[in-house]
Amino acid sequence: MRVGLFVPCYIDQLYPTVGRASLELLQKSGCEVIFLEDILCCGQPMANSGYEHYTTNKNYASPFLEALPNVDYVVAPSASCIYHLTHHLLKEELEQDKLQKFKEITEFLHDVKTNFVVQSYFPHRVALHKSCHGLRGLQLAKASELGGTAFSKIENLLNKVEGLHLVIPAQSDECCGFGGSFSVFENAVSVRMGEDKLKNVLHEKVEYLTATDMSCFMHLEGVFKENESVVKIVHITEILNSSL
Partner 1 sequence: MKTLHANLSKEFLSHRKDADWHNDTLWFLRKKRDYAKDQLREWEQLRQAASEIKRHTLSRLPHYLEKFEQQASQNGMKVKWAWDGQEVNVLVTKILRENNVTSVVKSKSMLTEECGLNHHLEKQGFEVVDTDLGERIVQLRQEQPSHIVVPAVHLRKEEVGKTFHQFLNTEVGNSDPSYLAEEARNSLRRDFIKAEAAVTGVNFGIATNGSVVVCTNEGNADLGVHSKKVIIHCMGIEKILPGLKELSVFTRLLARSAVGQPITIYTSHYKNPRQYTKEYIIIVNNLRTEIYKDEGFREALKCIRCGACMNTCPVYRRSGGHSYHHTVPGPIGSVLAPFYNKEKNKDLPFASTLCGSCNHVCPVKIDLAGLLYKWRQKLTKETSQAVEKTLGFKASTELLKNKTVYKMAGKCARLKISSFVLKSSYNPWNKGRKFTDLPKETFREWYKRSNHEE
Residues 180-219 that bind partner 1 (CB under 8 A): 180-196, 218-219
For the segment 106-165, give every residue that binds partner 1 (CB under 8 A): 132-133, 136-137, 143-148
Site stretch for partner 1 (CB under 8 A), options 64-72, 109-117, 155-163, 172-180: 172-180
For the segment 12-31, give every residue that binds partner 1 (CB under 8 A): 12-17, 19-20, 23
Q: What 3-state class would DSSP assign to 131?
A: coil
CA atoms within 13 A on the CB side of 147: 0
CA angle 95, 60, 234 (to 5 degrees): 95
51 contributes a contact to partner 1 by CB under 8 A: yes
Among 68, 99, 156, 171, the residue binding partner 1 under the rule CB under 8 A is 171
35 contributes a contact to partner 1 by CB under 8 A: yes
Q: What is the spatial distance between Cα 72 and Cα 3, in angstroms, rounded to a whole number?
A: 6
Neighbours of 132 (CB within 10 A): 21
Q: What is the spatial distance between Cα 23 and Cα 4, in angstroms, rounded to a whole number?
A: 10
Least distance to partner 1, CB of residue 87, Å: 8
Q: What is the spatial distance between Cα 55 and Cα 89, in angstroms, rounded to a whole number?
A: 8
Least distance to partner 1, CB of residue 46, Å: 5
69 contributes a contact to partner 1 by CB under 8 A: no
Torsions phi, psi of 49, nearest 5?
A: -95, 10
Among 6, 25, 55, 126, the residue binding partner 1 under the rule CB under 8 A is 55
